């Protein structure tokens, strides 16, 4: 049986309306009046109000968790709505935290919502987490995931973890006294760029629904002190084969943060730990913005050049399936094939390279430049900027 956190000695009482609202809980022997009072007394911090955070916070609010903290600094984008069901079409452009808080309060006005509209960082994590009993990690990137893990270990708060990738998900409960932490399982982050994000790799919209609900279930069990939480177990969800497997996890005695002789005793620089280097600064060279020696061009400037019939060769280095979704007629050579297909390009020509957002095309420009191509320019902001600033009929994805 899990020891989740100290239940306050004096539990808050429920009024008649709360008794009516939670009646299906109250008649469960495993919850009952005391369990519902424990839920009311509990404070849970949900990091992220995106794919995982949407179902997670919705069900925690419905269940009557008394205080729910939200951490998010992002804004609702149209591409979020396929899975982040706490946000609606009318919320596009609004801060996610505002949109989420509104929905949660509408569902259950008894719940106190605490908004932390900030990015969780090494500077603020311990201070934010200290006021909560349990943390639920709904983040989508490795630096924040390691940060949440380490902050939970250092403050002794259980971490209801979930993560998703395309059709597969994982869930566990980390950082308890008796169980392992995320670093026991993954001591080192994957090399940057190896695991694509949802924006790069895609994700089945339903998957975070499945995994977020599992996280909510674990949080409720920890609060009630009932059942067998996923402590020391990693649940693997494969939505394509619809298989659920659990792997046994052991606490690693040599774990750098929760082991016998920890080397991580305070929060570190997680961007650096995950090998993420800040993007090269844009400087002005010959009156043109330049990054790593590669001149940058805006979508509007490119349009002017094309309209003026200047000899510009547009090279698109995205994948063929992206080209199918949206293109504006560039010559397609995916970045991974560029090294082998340079003979399709003229070394003296003026070439403008683009991708979705401008990152892959910058790499392509650097590769071409290193191979003797003279007039290489990167389209800043990629086809997304083209859609925003030149031709809105080109869909954004
Ligand atoms: Zn550990």
The per-residue pLDDT of the chain, averaged, comes to 93
Spacing, Cα 3 to ligand 1 middle (Å): 18
User: Is a pLDDT exceeding 50 seen at residue 80?
Assistant: yes
Spacing, Cα 49 to ligand 1 middle (Å): 26
Spacing, Cα 141 to ligand 1 middle (Å): 19
* Identified catalytic residue from 152, 198, 255, 274: 198
Spacing, Cα 254 to ligand 1 middle (Å): 8
Residue 184 annotated among the catalytic residues of the structure: no
Residue of 173, 166, 196, 194 whose CA lies nearest to 83 = 166
Helices (H), the chain: 16-21, 23-26, 32-41, 53-63, 96-107, 125-129, 142-155, 182-185, 198-201, 207-224, 270-273, 299-307, 320-325, 335-338, 359-370, 382-389
Spacing, Cα 181 to ligand 1 middle (Å): 4
Predicted confidence (pLDDT) per residue in 167-224, tens digit: 999 999 999 999 999 999 998 888 776 777 777 788 999 999 999 999 999 999 999 9
More confident residue, 27 or 292: 27
User: Is a pLDDT exceeding 50 seen at residue 2?
Assistant: no
Q: pLDDT at position 225, please?
A: 97
Q: What is the mean pLDDT of residues 286-303?
A: 93
Say if residues 59 and 214 touch (Cβ distance below 8 Å): no
Spacing, Cα 65 to ligand 1 middle (Å): 28
Q: pLDDT at position 23, please?
A: 98
Say if residues 111 and 43 touch (Cβ distance below 8 Å): no
Rama region for 292: left / alpha / beta (φ>0; ψ in -120 to 50; rest): left
Q: What is the mean pLDDT of residues 44-69?
A: 98
Reported confidence tier of residue 286, pLDDT bands at 50, 70, 90: confident
Say if residues 176 and 158 touch (Cβ distance below 8 Å): yes
Spacing, Cα 320 to ligand 1 middle (Å): 41
Spacing, Cα 233 to ligand 1 middle (Å): 13
Q: pLDDT at position 1, please?
A: 40
- Per DSSP, the three-state class of 182 is helix
Residue 355 annotated among the catalytic residues of the structure: yes
Q: What is the mean pLDDT of residues 84-100?
A: 98
CB-based contacts of 230: which residues, under 8 Å, 6+ apart?
171, 172, 173, 218, 246
Spacing, Cα 232 to ligand 1 middle (Å): 11
Percent of the chain at pLDDT > 70 equals 97
Reported confidence tier of residue 4, pLDDT bands at 50, 70, 90: low
Say if residues 162 and 138 touch (Cβ distance below 8 Å): yes
* Identified catalytic residue from 152, 255, 355, 365: 355
Say if residues 364 and 324 touch (Cβ distance below 8 Å): no
User: Is a pLDDT exceeding 80 seen at residue 67?
Assistant: yes
Predicted confidence (pLDDT) per residue in 322-339, tens digit: 899 899 999 999 999 999
Q: pLDDT at position 275, please?
A: 83
Predicted confidence (pLDDT) per residue in 210-268, tens digit: 999 999 999 999 999 999 999 999 999 999 999 999 999 999 999 999 999 999 999 99
Tell the burial category of 117 from Cβ atoms under 10 Å away from its Cβ (0-12, 13-18, 19+). Answer: middle
């Amino acid at each position: 049986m899990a020891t989740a956190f100290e239940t306050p000695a004096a539990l808050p009482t429920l009024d008649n309306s709360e008794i009516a609202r939670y009646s299906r809980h109250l008649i469960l022997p495993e919850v009952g009046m005391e369990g519902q009072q424990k839920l009311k007394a509990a404070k849970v911090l949900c990091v992220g109000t995106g794919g995982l955070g949407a179902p997670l916070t919705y069900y925690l609010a419905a269940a009557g968790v008394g205080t729910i903290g939200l951490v998010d600094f992002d804004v609702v984008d149209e591409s979020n709505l396929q899975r982040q069901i706490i946000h609606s079409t009318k919320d596009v452009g609004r801060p996610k935290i505002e949109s989420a808080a509104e929905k949660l309060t509408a569902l259950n006005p008894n719940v106190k919502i605490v908004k932390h509209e900030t990015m969780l960082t090494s500077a603020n994590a311990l201070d934010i987490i200290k006021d909560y009993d349990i943390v639920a990690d709904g983040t989508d990137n490795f630096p924040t995931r390691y940060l949440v893990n380490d902050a939970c270990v250092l403050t002794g708060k259980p971490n209801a973890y979930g993560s998703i990738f395309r059709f597969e998900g994982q869930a566990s409960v980390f950082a308890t006294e008796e169980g392992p932490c995320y670093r026991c399982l993954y001591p080192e982050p994957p090399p940057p760029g190896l695991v694509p994000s949802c924006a790069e790799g895609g994700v089945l919209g339903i998957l975070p629904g499945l995994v977020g609900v599992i996280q909510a279930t674990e949080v409720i069990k920890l609060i009630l002190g009932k059942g067998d939480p996923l402590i020391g177990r990693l649940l693997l969800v494969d939505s394509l084969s619809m298989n659920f497997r659990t792997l046994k996890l052991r606490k690693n005695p040599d774990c750098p943060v929760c082991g016998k002789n920890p080397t991580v005793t305070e929060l570190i620089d997680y961007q650096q730990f995950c090998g993420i280097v800040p993007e090269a600064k844009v400087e002005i060279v010959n009156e043109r913005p330049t990054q790593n020696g590669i001149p940058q061009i805006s979508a509007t400037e490119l349009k002017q050049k094309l309209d003026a019939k200047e000899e510009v060769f547009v090279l698109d280095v995205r994948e063929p399936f992206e080209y199918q979704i949206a293109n504006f007629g560039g010559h397609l050579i995916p970045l991974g094939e560029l090294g082998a297909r340079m003979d399709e390009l003229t070394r003296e020509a003026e070439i403008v390279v683009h991708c979705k957002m401008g990152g892959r095309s910058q790499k392509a420009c650097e590769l071409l430049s290193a191979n003797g191509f003279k007039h290489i320019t990167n389209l800043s902001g990629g086809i997304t900027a083209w859609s925003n600033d030149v031709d809105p009929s080109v869909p954004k994805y």
